[in-house]
Structure 1
Amino acid sequence: MEKRKMSAIHATYITIGLLVISKSARGLDCYQCDSSTDLHCPSLLSYQAPSRSLLPSSCHRVMEARYCIKTTGMFEGQLGTKRFCSSRDWGNYCEWVRRPGDEREYRACVFTCQMNGCNPAPTIHHTHTPLIILPLLLGIRFLM
């Protein structure tokens, strides 16, 4: 393989590596809101079109934040949603809960994830595949 092509491949890998390192060094960004005080904190936010007024924000105020959390359930007597940063993995589960004196059951859920902005919806579908495929495609392009 000629020297020019090898240099281009090395430059591609170095650039992608620096981008990944700089993004992870910056810290975690999560959606953070409470539906009891914020009308723009619905139970479901779409990955494709999240609320324009609700964007992921820095978790720098939470010591050693590594997780984005979304909870749904009964908060202060009302059904609602909370999204926040955490240093602890809360797990992923749903359960049916009945409050004392209440005839109805409601569903309470917790969803935990570890990527920037990953807590808008209950199902987490993130992958590192683009980070793996991109260097390969760029490398093949320079080989041809």
Structure 2
Amino acid sequence: MEKRKMSAIHATYITIGLLVISKSVSGMSCYQCNSTSERTCGDSLPQHHSLGSISCDHIQNVQYCVKMTGLVEGQLGTKRFCSSRDWGNYCEWVRRPGDEREYRACVFTCQMNGCNPAPTIHHTHTPLIILPLLLGIRFLM
């Protein structure tokens, strides 16, 4: 009886692990907006904003969500989008020729669905998901 109970628990871990992996393979979604055309797409999204995480199916080999602040289409603003490349995580002070002031430009890149709403950098929890999966397989053998 005890062995059957353990097998059921491990099967549950395996099922959950496979569901999470299949979800991440099925497609990525990110916040996608531009503050030049959407007021709510500022540096920090308002608490009750109307923006949602949108599918990135229109980007080939998408792996990242990106948030950029700084000069967006000739104006200071924010842009959030999907990307197939890692733009990095950094901030810098920029002064263009003819500008009176410097402005801060930042790029934040992350790899989780909807991870680009705020300026914090998120890390994936994949190792925390894979570990129970591997332990479950080990005990089933």
TM-score between both structures, scaled by the size of structure 1: 0.81
Amino acid paired to 1:95? E
Q: Does residue 40 of structure 1 match 2:69?
A: no
Residue in structure 1 matched with residue 98 of structure 2 by the alignment = 101
Distance 1:127 1:60 in 2: 20
The root-mean-square deviation of aligned C-alpha atoms, in Å, is: 2.4
* Distance apart, 1:15 and its partner CA: 1.8
Residue in structure 2 matched with residue 142 of structure 1 by the alignment = none
Q: Does residue 119 of structure 1 match 2:116?
A: yes
Q: Paired residue for 1:71, among 64, 68, 80?
A: 68
- Deviation above 6 Å: which 4+ runs of structure 1? none
Structure 2 unaligned segments of length 5 or more: list them: 137-141
For the 8 Å contact 2:17–2:129, the answer to whether it is kept is: no
Residue in structure 2 matched with residue 21 of structure 1 by the alignment = 21
Structure 1 residues 64 and 25 mapped into 2: Cα distance closer, same or farther (>3 Å)?
same
**Identity, % of aligned pairs?**
74
Q: Paired residue for 1:83, among 80, 83, 93?
A: 80
* Distance apart, 1:18 and its partner CA: 2.2
Aligned length: 133
TM-score between both structures, scaled by the size of structure 2: 0.82
Distance 2:100 2:114 in 1: 36
Structure 1 unaligned segments of length 5 or more: list them: 140-144
For the 8 Å contact 2:109–2:116, the answer to whether it is kept is: yes
Q: Does residue 92 of structure 1 match 2:80?
A: no
For the 8 Å contact 2:111–2:124, the answer to whether it is kept is: no
Q: Does residue 4 of structure 1 match 2:4?
A: yes
Amino acid paired to 2:119? P
